[in-house]
């Protein structure tokens, strides 16, 4: 007796419902409320997002700050003079 390899592929789920991948796609499109991600997938993605946010924050803190709008010394005029 041979063992069957465990898989998380979509193919096994397809055979349970209708037997065809195209039918499963159609069913999934018609019933979006019944389709949910696995808990393993959602936990993995949540962890990845946390790591990504932590890396982004570390990059922002490590980078040097630049003055986007430095204080203008001439009183805020941009060179436009009114001719009266």
Tell me the whole-structure pTM to 2 decimals: 0.43
In tens digits, the chain (84 residues) has pLDDT values of: 567 666 666 655 555 555 677 777 888 889 888 888 889 999 999 999 999 999 999 999 988 888 888 886 655 555 555 565
Radius of gyration in angstroms for the set of CA atoms belonging to the chain, rounded to a whole number: 29
Pairwise CA distance, residues 38 & 69, whole Å: 48
Pinpoint the alpha helices (H) of the chain. Answer: 10-17, 21-30, 39-62
At 47 the pLDDT is 97
Residue 37 has what pLDDT? 84
**81 CB-side CA count, 13 A:** 2
Determine the pLDDT at residue 58. 94
């Amino acid at each position: 007796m041979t063992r069957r390899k465990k898989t998380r592929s979509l193919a096994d789920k397809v055979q349970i419902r209708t037997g065809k991948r195209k039918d499963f796609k159609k069913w999934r499109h018609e019933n979006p409320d019944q389709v949910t991600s696995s808990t393993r997938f959602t936990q993995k993605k949540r962890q990845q997002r946390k790591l990504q946010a932590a890396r982004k924050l570390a990059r922002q803190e490590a980078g040097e700050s630049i003055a986007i709008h430095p204080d203008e010394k001439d009183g805020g005029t941009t060179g436009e003079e009114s001719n009266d």
